[in-house]
Amino acid sequence: MKTKETTDGQRKRIVVTVTNDLVTDQRVHRSCSALQEAGYRVTLVGRRLRESGAVERSYETVRMRLLFRKKVFFYAEYNMRLFLRLLFMKADLFYANDTDTLPANYWAAVLRRKPLFFDAHELFPEVPELVGRPRVKRFWTGIEKRLFPRMAQRKRTAAVTVCESIAEIYRERYGLTMGVVRNVPMVRKRQEEADRIQSEALLERLPDGKRLLLYQGAVNVGRGIEWVMEAMPYLDDCHLVVAGVGDEYERLKREAERADLRERVTFLGRVVPEVLYGLTRHACLGLSLLENRGLNYYYAFPNRIADFVQAGVPVLATDFPEIHRVVTAYGIGTLVAPVPFDASTGKSQAPDPQALARRIEEALEYWAAMPPAEKQALFAKAAAELSWEHDKKVLLQGVETIIR
């Protein structure tokens, strides 16, 4: 590792900021680790909640205790507290994750004449939480309208986001040029023995001789899980596995019981990534069916797709722009046409269960007919490029350009 040093021989310091409690944010952890491996001294600043678990990192972490937990009071307190902290922290670069950390970082960078790096994980004013909240949406849009054009003109500023579509939107709206660092996992080398044993224990809970359809990740609204559940009665030799928790988890479990799907659907709850990888490798098809709940869903490239690729599992995914771009470029799966979404009711027109079942059968038959060597070569290429090792170079290059 080549250490990045200031003129007095000290390692250059990068202060990275988020609004969460650091425990589960894997993208930010990968970013901090990449910066540390590149020779920078990294401090990650977030917040501490009453229920926050311990955080063990190889870099320094700071978690602020705040009076407010949500809404406008939280964001106001967080940015004021963060701004005061950044004014006095030793730093050679301020690294803001998402628009909700940007005000404090931007003004601290301006006042201290430091470089600013902005990492947009999503099109922030279009997050699902703001759908149906026009005043809050206008507030965050106003923040971007005020700061992004200034960032575009500022010499020591660089920015990245998670996909080409969002980068193009920000470029057209504000003239802000952004690199693309996708939310993709690291290349899997092997699975540890203990994790493999735990994965096998999960597999023992599933019925033998069934083709596994796997959904993994947050079990929240708009993820298409219920659609597949409704198609399961028409898929006699398949079994649906849902690995993850979220706002819709308990409701969907109750729905599965009500519809007498207990023999066709298994809810595993939270599964740690190392164990989940072993389970994923046994799936026949990975599911990523999204509703069109705003631009963040429409332009999403869910990280579960890259997780499936790392495990060599083809995907069945909604034909949205970024998903289409990747699936067709690498030939890693089957696309399903989006269904209409009614913003006034907050509901989508569910696909016909029998038609979805036929689409699933067609996808399974296609991959079953492909020669194993051909499939392995196809996924090896996709896994190498849909990986953190590939995309982190853009992040490091952006930081290096402005921190000199």
Q: What's the per-residue H, E or C state across the chain?
A: CCCCECCCCCECEEEEECCCCCCCCHHHHHHHHHHHHCCCEEEEEEEECCCCCCCCCCCEEEEEECCCCCHHHHHHHHHHHHHHHHHHCCCCEEEEECHHHHHHHHHHHHHHCCCEEEEECCCHHHCHHHCCCHHHHHHHHHHHHHHHHHHHHCCCEEEEECCHHHHHHHHHHHCCCCEECCCCCCCCCCCCHHHHHHHHHHHCCCCCCCEEEEEECCCCCCCCHHHHHHHHHHCCCEEEEEECCCCCHHHHHHHHHHCCCCCCEEEEECCCHHHHHHHHCCCCEEEECCCCCCHHHHCCCCHHHHHHHHCCCCEEEECCHHHHHHHHHHCCEEEECCCCEECCCCEECCCCHHHHHHHHHHHHHHHHHCCHHHHHHHHHHHHHHCCHHHHHHHHHHHHHHHHC
Residue 354 lies in a domain: yes
Same domain, 303 and 318: yes
Count CB-CB contacts under 10 A for residue 208.
Answer: 7
| Strand 341-342 to 347-348 pairing | antiparallel
Same domain, 153 and 202: no
Q: Give bridge partners of residue 17 from the DSSP assignment.
A: 45, 96
Per-residue pLDDT tens digits for 302-325? 989 999 999 999 999 999 999 999
Number of domains present in the structure of the chain:
2
Same domain, 248 and 114: no
Residue 1 lies in a domain: no
Residue 353 lies in a domain: yes
pLDDT in tens, the chain (404 residues): 556 776 566 889 999 999 988 887 889 999 999 999 999 999 999 998 888 888 889 999 999 998 888 778 899 999 999 999 999 999 999 999 999 999 999 999 999 999 999 999 988 888 766 666 788 888 989 999 999 999 999 999 999 999 999 999 999 999 999 999 998 998 877 777 877 888 888 888 899 999 999 999 989 889 999 999 999 999 999 999 999 988 899 999 999 999 999 999 999 998 888 889 999 999 999 999 999 988 888 998 998 999 999 999 999 999 999 999 999 999 999 999 999 988 778 788 999 999 999 999 999 999 999 999 999 999 999 999 999 999 999 999 999 999 97
CATH number, domain containing residue 93 = 3.40.50.2000
pTM of the model: 0.86
Residue 3 lies in a domain: no
Same domain, 48 and 152: yes
Whole-number Å distance between alpha carbons of 367 and 371 = 9
**Phi and psi, residue 5, nearest 5°:** -120, 150
Same domain, 253 and 136: no
Count CB-CB contacts under 10 A for residue 363.
Answer: 20
* pLDDT given at position 224: 95
Whole-number Å distance between alpha carbons of 246 and 215 = 13
* pLDDT given at position 7: 59
Same domain, 104 and 213: no
Residue 77 lies in a domain: yes
* Contact assessment for residue 362 and residue 335, using Cβ atoms and an 8 Å cutoff: no
Whole-number Å distance between alpha carbons of 72 and 78 = 10
* Contact assessment for residue 104 and residue 82, using Cβ atoms and an 8 Å cutoff: yes
Same domain, 323 and 398: no
Same domain, 59 and 38: yes
Same domain, 257 and 130: no
Whole-number Å distance between alpha carbons of 336 and 120 = 28
The residue segments making up the domain with residue 362 are 193-386
